[in-house]
Amino acid sequence: MDDLIKKGAQMIKDAQKILVFTGAGLSTESGIPDFRSPGGLWEKYDPMDFYYQKFISDEGARTKYWEMVKDVYEILAKASPNRAHMAIKTLEDQKKLLSVVTQNIDGLHHEAGNSKDKIIEIHGTVATISCLSCGRQYMKDEIIRRLNSGVKLPYCGQCSGILKPDSISFGQAMPEDKMSLAIMHARECDLCIVIGSSLVVYPAASIPEYAAQGQAKLMIINRESTPLDRSADLLIRQSVSVLADMVSV
């Protein structure tokens, strides 16, 4: 057995309260390209068009935004949880998972079977869409049907207000309740596993920092370097699927 996998398996075995922090690198192995990577959506669209203030004030920007969202939904429809997602579900089954804090908006932790109350989506989700005026919430399938029927700019059926997926846009405030809960769990965990995140997007990236500053062990599984590499008790530059090998030991 690879020594790194063996060490990781022992860290997991010894832990009782594991916080898993996941980023785009987890989703790419489910076929969802990182927006920033070559071939990602930011090659087709200008992210400057999607700042929150522009979204709510410019109808043209909203039309471009929904064109992009339609592309996102088509990508997500083809994706499914990978071995690492299922390994995180296994950690919950083993009663070791405190929570999974994710930067991803794809909902794959839900599809993998993790309990809703174990998942903290700090960047929100595209699974639901809400009216910014009356607050009515729609499931994505209803809005997808509108987009596929030719509607380019959907509005709320209740008050005609602006609709927006429940994901966090550039310039939009982070959800304080989710951040507070994630920080609390970071301070409480005895092992923090960072998987598929380069830890450069803040304030989300501060979550593993809180864990590292406390008594928790830190494991980082990511193909690229991160600012926290020097603080890691175990650093693995391999596929995220290596987590499944650790959990199955």
Q: 122 exposed, middle or buried (CB, 10 Å; 0-12, 13-18, 19+)?
A: buried
Given the residues 85, 109, 110, 123, select the one marked as catalytic: 123
Say if residues 218 and 228 touch (Cβ distance below 8 Å). Answer: yes
At a CB cut-off of 8 Å and minimum separation 6, what does 117 contact? none
Residue 123 known to be catalytic:
yes
- Residues recognised as catalytic: 123
